[in-house]
Structure 1
Amino acid sequence: MGERCGWCGTDPLYVAYHDDEWGVPERDGRALWEKLVLDGFQAGLSWITILRKRDAFRSAFAGFDPEMVGSWGEADVARLLADPGIVRHRGKIEATIGNARAYLDIEAREGFAAFLWDHVDGRPVQNRFATLAEVPTETAVSRAMSKALKARGFRFCGPTIVYAFMQATGMVNDHLVTCPCHDRVAASG
């Protein structure tokens, strides 16, 4: 049995995330929206910081209910800026509220999951990287998805954030070929 992808280290929370969630294809629109929001909050921070705060984020953002979040205004922004359990960044908080509205529009028109998965023709890209150095930080597909999201009103979704999101949600399988999760995730696509 090979070794896990080196980025997850030995923190039990991070290892569980790597083993059970990262790279597993996600096709639920609301779950995809939550993950995209969290990846946006990660910008400039480490993922473990966001992972440790994920339950607080879920509580603060009403379980990532886009209809509820999309109805929020300045009083809610102020409440969230005072919440020590989350990353208190006005731009990211305001973007999340706007992104909820954009999500609802896409969901009503064509389905958020379908909108995103169409960028990879509905099935995960199966990469076969042997080292972390081979794994890109963005691709032509993440650039196209970022551009499409921005055109629909999303913010905090640049091509690097979008590629991390694609990795997390299994649109690309970037578990290293030496990782025991690679083949399991490949079979789940």
Structure 2
Amino acid sequence: MSSLRRDCISLILKYLQEENFTETAHSLERQSGIFFNLNYVEELVMNGEWEEAEMYLSGFTKLEDNKFSTKIFFEIRKQKYLETLDRNERHNAVEILTKDLKVFSRYNNDLFKEMALLITLDDFRKHKSLGKYGDTLSARASILREIKKAIGANPVFVGKMELPAIDTAALRSLANEDA
């Protein structure tokens, strides 16, 4: 991406943020891939907005890009699954298991089998690995810490956590071209 294009997108993002056009700003962040808004991801995770979190992240990385990306998507989908089980929505949990979590069986089939076993339990917290699960907000905070660690270690996000500095000379030349 040219520095002029990057500067223009950065300027537009700053304007959108200042004018509180947050949805548009997040859409541009995702579509351009030049700025990753960690605060936005934190908000999505803490609010349990799993599809939106995945859609936003998919503008920057894919599940199979590297082990850190795989971990991020796994944590999101696992939490979505556990919350569905916690609400006793077995049918939806089976759907999440077969559509969203099945892909991870190629990385760790035993873990996938354990997750499938959770459907048979009245309370998944009775499983030895989930005895300390706690309430939903605490669990979300816990997986958010894991997601943030994976984002911090993921080379895909290097240089994208802060808005790029705007080259004002390039912007002036752009303005002059339009005049």
Q: What TM-score, normalized by structure 1, do the two folds share?
A: 0.29
Which structure has the larger Rg over C-alpha atoms?
Answer: 2
**TM-score under structure 2 normalisation?**
0.30
In proportion to residue count, which structure has more helix?
2
